[in-house]
Amino acid sequence: MAETLFALELLARQGGGDQFATWRSRTKNRLGRRARSLLTLARTIRPIPDLLSMVESPAELDSHGEAGLSLVGSRRQNVAGMIEEFHKVALAPYWERVSARLEADCSARGRLILNGGIERLLSTLHPSIRWSSGVLEIPSHRSQDIDPASRGLLLTPSLFLFDKPILIDSASRARPPVLAYPVSLDRAAAATLWSAPSNQDAADALGALVGRTRAAIMKSLTVSCNTSELGQRIGISAASASQHTSVLRSAGLITTQRRLNTALHSLTPLGVALLNGHQHQDLARGAAASLRLAPE
């Protein structure tokens, strides 16, 4: 939901620069009537928090009597329907690649925690974010102090949150506030994201390069999982999955984080680039850009 609304705002603002030019053009041309109405609405209000509140805030329903309950519920369903239609056009066609890139960022951030602790992670999320003496300062259009208390803080990378981080404090006090931070996108990576190669052609090419089973493993690891889950996903034994992941790890295409008796496998930025069909000369460039985690 959040990534869809970030994409909506980026399109409404004509943001993202050259990296999103192809996406903006394709998305506009494919929007239906309801999605176009949503785009018009997004030019007058902020998709986050305004549209998000319309869809999920229970407080809005509570503030109305029974006479207004049906009207409010109908409006919420209408907005949710428009957002769903926009998602099908703007994100769904590219979601596998987008989510793979976000997964790679999460893996890289996990390594930051292992090497430098939570302070290192928080201090490198974005140049505008400052971590000092137990306080995380985030740029905002309004001044506000938030104490997550026992709820914690959920960090989530975003491709469409192009310029600055944003804090989303849920209306539900049971859910943690969400700090969404932008993931950088260079032109080479953008060209791959918005291109539309044949899925079968891409799968055949990857299979010829690394073998069909390892290609299936890489495609499955767009969502991280452990060895047993990986074997179940592609129909091989856990022992066989372990052997294949060892080869892919040695080649730098996946990374494995071990905790107690569990090994969690994820694609590396190089693995993401290969899975998405980069030419060889783009692999090193794309991987280097993905690994440039923070300004020095």
Specify whether 147 is located in the same domain as 194: no
Distance of CA 53 to the CA centre of its chain: 21
Domain encompassing residue 210? 190-290
Specify whether 162 is located in the same domain as 230: no
The pTM of the full predicted model, rounded to 2 decimals, is 0.63
Rounded to an integer, what distance in angstroms lies between the CA atom of residue 36 and that of residue 42?
10
- Which pLDDT score is estimated for 206? 61
Question: Do the strands 254-259 and 262-267 form a parallel or antiparallel pair, or are they unpaired?
Answer: antiparallel
Boundary residue ending a domain (90, 123, 144): 90
Boundary residue ending a domain (182, 211, 234): 182
- Which pLDDT score is estimated for 87? 94
Q: Is residue 145 part of a domain?
A: yes
pLDDT in single tens digits along all 296 residues of the chain? 889 999 999 999 999 999 999 999 999 999 998 899 989 988 888 888 788 877 776 544 444 444 444 555 677 788 888 999 999 999 998 988 888 888 888 878 888 888 888 888 888 888 888 887 778 888 887 787 877 777 888 899 999 987 788 888 766 667 788 889 998 888 877 887 887 544 444 555 565 667 888 888 888 888 888 999 999 998 999 899 998 998 888 888 888 887 667 788 988 877 887 776 543 333 333 333 332 223 32
* CA-wise closest residue to 203 among 141, 134, 276: 276
- Which pLDDT score is estimated for 268? 84
Q: Is residue 10 part of a domain?
A: yes
Distant-in-sequence contacts of 123-132, Cβ < 8 A, 24+ apart? 123/294, 124/293, 124/294, 125/155, 125/165, 125/179, 125/181, 126/164, 126/165, 126/181, 126/182, 127/295, 128/164, 128/165, 129/165, 129/181
Boundary residue ending a domain (182, 211, 231): 182
According to DSSP, the residues that pair with 18 across neighbouring strands are none
Q: Is residue 101 part of a domain?
A: no
Q: Dmax of the chain from CA atoms?
A: 64
Q: Is residue 96 part of a domain?
A: no
Specify whether 285 is located in the same domain as 205: yes
Rounded to an integer, what distance in angstroms lies between the CA atom of residue 277 and that of residue 22?
18
Split into its structural domains, the chain has a count of 3
- Which pLDDT score is estimated for 61? 45
User: What residue type is 31 in one-letter code?
Assistant: L
Q: Is 178 helix (H, G, I), strand (E, B) or coil?
A: strand
Report, in this order, helix, strand and coil percent for the chain, each rounded to 5.
60, 10, 30
Q: Alpha carbon of 104 to those of 10, 68, 101, 253, 284: distances in Å? A: 22, 45, 5, 11, 15
